[in-house]
Structure 1
C-alpha cells in the first residue's frame, strides 16, 4: 500500500498515546509555547482515565512518594517527583475547576466523582492552545531518518507517514486490551535495542484452583479487613472472596509483589489478638462455644467456613494450649498459595517495562536515541493502588514536556 509522507516539522514533537501521561505532556508543552501532535489509537482520548476508580478517577494520592513504587531502580522516579509534586497535581486541577476530596488512605477524587471532568481539563486546554489530537490513528512503526524520525500510521483507512524531530511514547502498558492497550512502546524500545524489564500483570486479582477452590467459592461476596503480606510487602485493607479466588484492595496491592508459585499470608484479625479475646471472654462466659465468638468477629458465613478447621463446638473454658495455638495460627497466619492471577484484562497496571537504565531520570529521554522519550506505564515504574500511578503519569508527562 502506498504511503503519503507528511514532511511536517512544524510540530516540536509527536506524542503517541493520549492517556494521562500523553495528555499532560501535550498541555505542559503548550504552556511552554511548544506545538505538538498527539496520535491516539482509540476513538476518544483518556480511555483508562474514564474507567479508573469505577468512572470516578482517583487522580493522585496525598501520600505519594518514591516508596510506593516498584522498579528495578527504586531511586529513578525521585527526579520526576521532585519536578512535579502531589501539590503540583492538586494545584493544576484546582486551577481548572477540579476540587479534590480525600477518601481512604490519601486517595484523591474529583468532588464531582466524574472521571470525564479530568479528561475535559486536558481536551479544553489542548483546544485552547491549538495542540492537535488525532484519534482513530494507529501508529505502526517509528524509523530513524538522520536526526529525525518517520512515524508510520493508519488513519481513516489510509497509510501515511509523518516526520518529526522528537517522539514521545506514552502508549501505556498491556492491561485491558479492549481499551486499546498494546505492546507498542515495548516493541519500539526493543527495536531501538533498549532493555525491557520482564512484564507481568500488577494490581490484579489472584486465582485459587483445585481442591481449595470450593472453599473460596462458597464465600464469594464476603469482604473482610485483613493484613496481607509476604517477605516483600505488607498491606492492611479489605480482601474480597470471589468464586475464582481473592480480590479486594489488599490482594491487588500484594499481587504486585507476588510471584508465581509463592504463598501469601493473611492476618484475618490484624488489629486484635484472638488469644487475648478468648481469654477475656472465657473469664466471663466460659461455657460460650468458640464458634459463637468467631461469629461475632466475622459474618456468620465466614465463621461457618472457618469452623471445620477450628474446635468450633468446644466451649472457651475447655480449650487447651495447643488448641489455642492452632486457633491463633489459623486466624493470624492464614496461608494462601494462589494458582495464578486474572491476567492483563483484569489488571489495573503492568509491572516492568522499559528499563530505567535506558532513560535519563532527569528528562526521560532515551540515552541511545536522542529525541525519543518514554513516559507513563510503559516505563519500569509501577505504583500502588490508590492514585499513585496517575501521579507518575502526570509527573513523567510534565518532565518530558520541559525537555522537548
Structure 2
C-alpha cells in the first residue's frame, strides 16, 4: 500500500490550499479527486472570471451554528494574503461592487496558480480517482479506484452537495459520520427561489425583468438586484436572502428602496395628473413591472382621478410587497451548501476534529457558509491554509 504523510480528499479551493501549505512544511502530500480537472468550481465561478475574495470579509458575513467559529482562520489568512499571491502570480484583477474581486482574465488563471504552487511545493495531484471507504487503523486508510492509500493525516475537502452535475455528493458528510462527528442539517444556499402556480400566473409575464430592490426576511435584509424568472425570483438579492429564508416564511420586497412612493405619487399628481397611473409609476420601475404592480394594487386610471387612499395602497405594494416563495431550485443551481460538519466537533484554529487525531475538515463541507460575492472562496483559502499549517 502506498503511504504519505497527508492525504487530501478534494482538489477544490480548500483542498489545494491545504496541500500547498502542508507540502511547504516538507510533508509528503497526495491530493485525490474524482474529477478529471482540479478546481472546477473555481473555473465556472464569477461568470468565468472567479470572484476569488471580498475586501469586506468579516465573520458576521458567514452563517454557522457557531457564528464565531470562522473568526480564527479568517483573521490569520486574510483577503490581503490571498491577493498578495494573486499579485505574485502576475494575475490582473479588479474590484466590482461591494468589495468583490474578480480576475481581469479567466478564472483558469487562479486554478493554474494553485496547481503550479502544488507542484512547486512537491505535492502529488491525483485526478480521475474515485474515493471509496475511509477507515482508521494505525493510520488512515483511503480505498480508491487506484488502490489503497495510507496517510498519517487526512484532510477532507470534498465540498457540499451544490452543483451535482459536477460530481458534488455527500461524501465528506459520510466520512464525518463514520468517525462519529455530528452534522448540522444541510440545505441549498445562494439559490433562486420558486413561486407557487398562483403567483407564477401573474409574475411569469415579468420573466427577464431586473431591478435593484431591498429584500428582507425575518432575520436579514439585502440591497441588491432582483431578477424575475419563469420559475420565480433570482438575482443577487434573492441568492443572498435564500440562505436566511425558510419554507413557509414571507419575504418583503421594496421595489424602490429609498423612495417614498406615496409622497412621489402625490407630487406627480399635481404636475402630471392626466397621465395613466402605470405610466407615472414607470418613472421608478421597469414598465412591465409598473403595469403589474398597479394591477396587483387594484389601482388604474388617470393619476388626477385617484384619491390619496389609492396612492397609498399603490405605494404600499411597491415599498412593501409581501411574497411567499414555495421553495428553492435546490442543489442543482445552488452555489453552496448551508450546514455540514458541526463546528462544535472541530478546533477553530486548526480545523482538526477534536475526537479523532489527524483528521481535518475544510471548506464547504464545514458548517460555515458565506454571503454571495467571494466570501465562500475566502473561507476555502483561510480554512485550507489553517489546516495546512498543522496537518
Q: TM-score, normalised by structure 1?
A: 0.94
Instruction: Give the drift of 1:126.
Output: 1.6
Q: Would you say 1:359 and 2:346 are equivalent positions?
A: yes
The aligned residue for residue 125 of structure 1 is: 117
Question: 1: distance between equivalents of 2:300 and 2:156?
Answer: 62
Structure 2: distance between partners of 1:83 and 1:33: 21
Q: Is the 8 A contact 2:49 2:104 kept in 1?
A: no
Paired residues of 2:345 and 2:353 also in contact (CA < 8 A): yes
SS at match of 1:137: coil
Q: Which runs of 5+ in 2 are unaligned?
A: none
Distance 2:210 2:157 in 1: 36
Answer yes or no: is the 8 Å Cα contact 1:290–1:311 preserved in 2. no
Task: Quote how far apart the aligned CAs of 1:229 are.
Answer: 0.5
Looking at structure 2, the residues matched to 287 and 126 of structure 1 have their Cα atoms a distance apart, in angstroms, of 69
| Aligned counterpart, 1:248 | 235
Choose the corresponding residue for 2:49, options 40, 56, 68.
56
Task: Identify which of 233, 244, 248 aligns with 2:220.
Answer: 233
Once the two structures are superposed, residues 134-168 of structure 1 have per-residue CA deviations (whole angstroms, 9 ceiling, x without a partner) of 0011111211113x11111113xxxx211111000
Q: Give the number of equivalent residue pairs.
A: 391
Matched residue, 2:79: 86
Q: Does 1:67 align with 2:60?
A: yes
Partner of 1:281: 268
- State which of 312, 325, 328 in structure 2 corresponds to 1:338: 325
**C-alpha distance after superposition, 1:219-260 (max 9, x if no partner):** 111101100001111001111111111110000000000111
The answer to whether 1:213 aligns with 2:200 is yes
Distance (Å, rounded) in 2 between the aligned partners of 1:220 and 1:288: 26
- 2:32 maps to 39
Q: How many angstroms apart in 2 are the aligned matches of 1:228 and 1:67? A: 18
Partner residue of 1:383? 370
Offset of residue 111 of structure 1: 1.8
> In 1, are the aligned partners of 2:217 and 2:251 still within 8 Å (CA)?
yes
SS in 1 for 2:185: strand
1:78-227 alignment, distance < 5 Å: 78-112=71-105, 114-146=106-138, 148-155=139-146, 160-227=147-214
Structure 1 residue 198, shift from structure 2 partner: 0.2
**More deviation in 189-198 or 280-289?**
280-289
Note if contact 1:216-1:244 (Cα within 8 Å) is conserved in structure 2.
no
Note the C-alpha offset of 1:78.
0.4
Q: Does the aligned pair in 2 maintain the 1:295–1:303 contact within 8 Å?
A: yes
Partner of 1:261: 248
1:295 corresponds to: 282
Offset at residue 205 of structure 1 (A): 0.4
Does 2:33 align with 1:15? no
User: 1:351-375 CA distances to partner (integer Å, 9 max, x unpaired)?
Assistant: 0000000000011000110100000
Q: Is the 8 A contact 1:90 1:100 kept in 2?
A: no
Q: Unaligned 5+ residue runs, structure 1?
A: none
8 A Cα contact 1:22 1:38, kept in partner:
yes
**Aligned 8 A contact 2:294 2:314 in 1:** no
Moved more, 329-338 or 316-325: 316-325
CA–CA separation in structure 2 for the residues paired with 1:169 and 1:386? 24
- 2:256–2:285: 8 Å Cα contact kept in structure 1? no
RMSD: 1.3
Equivalent-residue separation in structure 2 for 1:131 and 1:222 (angstroms): 48
